[in-house]
Amino acid sequence: MFTLISFINCLIGTPGVGKTTLGKELASRTGMTYVNVGDLAQEGQLYDGYDEEYECPILDEDRVVDELENKMKEGGVIVDYHGCDFFPERWFHIVFVLQTDNTILYTRLEKRGYNVKKLQNNIQCEIFQILYEEALASYKNEIVHRLPSNVPEELESNLDQIMKWIEQWIKDNN
């Protein structure tokens, strides 16, 4: 287990790319605290309305940031959410953008029962790499990394790669 006093990372990506699976496994291996922003928002009712078109609540980003602020100061946190542009730049040491082939992603989202509009929007988001571009615009480019997330074997590879980044960060910062 690592000593991660202040290390914080962020996992972002289109719904269905495997952020939650990766985040929970990473937390299990490192002892870091895993925070799924969607779950946090649901538990605290951190919403600012409901989007009828996409059939989902609208996140109150300011309230989410307020809710997470103290936890982020403590460090040792893995944050899982679709996007990242509203999180303060100072929060993250590294940002991982998970990406999935569109045909695989389509099947995953279809199995979740996404309506046509929501499914198409998420696929377009992945095609145009919207979340990757958002991460590059929000954080220093050197801390933003893309990881493929198509097949179960890539999960293990991604975990190994992230663990190496964490180990290097610890060496560089302790």
Report the percentage of the chain scoring pLDDT > 70: 97
Q: For residues 132 and 97, what is the distance between their CA atoms, to the nearest angstrom?
A: 6
Q: Angle at CA 56, nearest 5°, toward 53 and 61?
A: 115
Q: For residues 72 and 56, what is the distance between their CA atoms, to the nearest angstrom?
A: 26
Report the percentage of the chain scoring pLDDT > 90: 87
Tallying the residues shown for the chain, one arrives at 174
Task: Count the helices and strands in the chain (H runs, E runs).
Answer: 7, 7
Q: Quick one: pLDDT at residue 111? A: 97
Mean pLDDT confidence for 15-25: 97
pLDDT band, residue 3 (cuts 50/70/90): very low
Q: For residues 48 and 46, what is the distance between their CA atoms, to the nearest angstrom?
A: 7
pLDDT at 2 over 50: no
Q: Measured between alpha carbons, how far is residue 153 from residues 45, 85, 111, 148, 157 in Å?
A: 36, 29, 21, 10, 7
pLDDT tens for 52-86 read 988 899 999 999 999 999 999 988 999 999 999 99
pLDDT tens for 106-137 read 999 999 999 999 999 999 999 999 999 999 99
pLDDT band, residue 6 (cuts 50/70/90): low
User: For residue 17, what are the contacts with CB-CB under 8 A and spacing of at least 6?
Assistant: 98, 99, 100, 105, 126, 149
Q: For residues 83 and 118, what is the distance between their CA atoms, to the nearest angstrom?
A: 16
Q: Quick one: pLDDT at residue 1? A: 40
Decide if 45 contacts 57 (C-beta within 8 A): no
- The dihedral over CA atoms of 29, 169, 130, 137, expressed in degrees to the nearest 10, equals 150
